[in-house]
Amino acid sequence: MKLYTFSPAPNPQRVNYLLKYKGVSIETQEVDLREQAHFDQAYLDINPSATVPALYIDENCTLVDGIAICHYLDKKFPEKPLFGKTDEETAVILGWVHRIYVDGLGAVAEILRNTSEFFKGRAIPGTLSVEQLPALAERGLIRLNAFFDMLDKRLKNHEYIVGDKLTQADIDAYVACNFAGWVKQSVPEKNEHLIAWHKKMMNILDT
């Protein structure tokens, strides 16, 4: 098993925090997106989508989606489960993870990829050439603020996003809030419940 990653990027961070929380180490290779190493043929042979992370399990299986990698590793290393202990818990956590990915991480990516010089001609992940659309960046900012408000409302009466302990939903939401800094955004002061939760996550995940 080998993990291909680029540690600063948000989707790899979802996996990295899972491994750190569980105290698990696996063989890892950095793929430097700044140098466009994900477009090198050697990496395309591993993941034709040219995205990170990718988890090579064996010659018959390579996982290339962050949620699939996280779920697999959670089952592979079951101590301190992050996807629940029952089918019902897992379903609820997966639902929140999907919502956070679309409404949070997706919103920041929409802003970043449609404004950054680095992503000119590559406004969506992967190998497809797509031009930037400034209107999508404007929409992304609206979506991001709605995401912050949604999480703040959820955390008003919940210590964690799902249940009474940290789950992958908390990790992903924490990554999404930090990713907002890439587009010079942060959790608004009015979202006091989200700010308090974020400080708690920082103490758990980054100490």
Q: Helix, strand or coil for residue 58?
A: strand
Predicted confidence pLDDT, tens digits, the chain (207 residues): 999 999 999 999 999 999 999 999 999 999 999 999 999 999 999 999 999 999 999 999 999 999 999 999 999 999 999 999 999 999 999 999 999 999 999 999 999 999 999 999 999 999 999 999 999 999 999 999 999 999 999 999 999 999 999 999 999 999 999 999 999 999 999 999 999 999 999 999 998
Per-residue tokens: 120? 């000119």
CA distances from 168 to 14, 84, 146 (A): 8, 9, 21
If one counts every other C-beta atom within 10 angstroms of the C-beta of residue 34, the result is: 9
Provide the pLDDT for residue 148. Answer: 98
What is d(CA 61, CA 167) in angstroms, rounded to the nearest whole number? 26
Can you count the helices (H) and strands (E) in the chain?
8, 4
Contact at 8 Å (CB) between 162 and 81?
Answer: no
Contact 12, 53 (CB under 8 A): yes
* φ, ψ (nearest 5 deg) of residue 178: -70, -35
Domains of the chain, with CATH numbers? 2-76 (3.40.30.10), 87-205 (1.20.1050.10)
State pLDDT tens for residues 63-111: 999 999 999 999 999 999 999 999 999 999 999 999 999 999 999 999 9
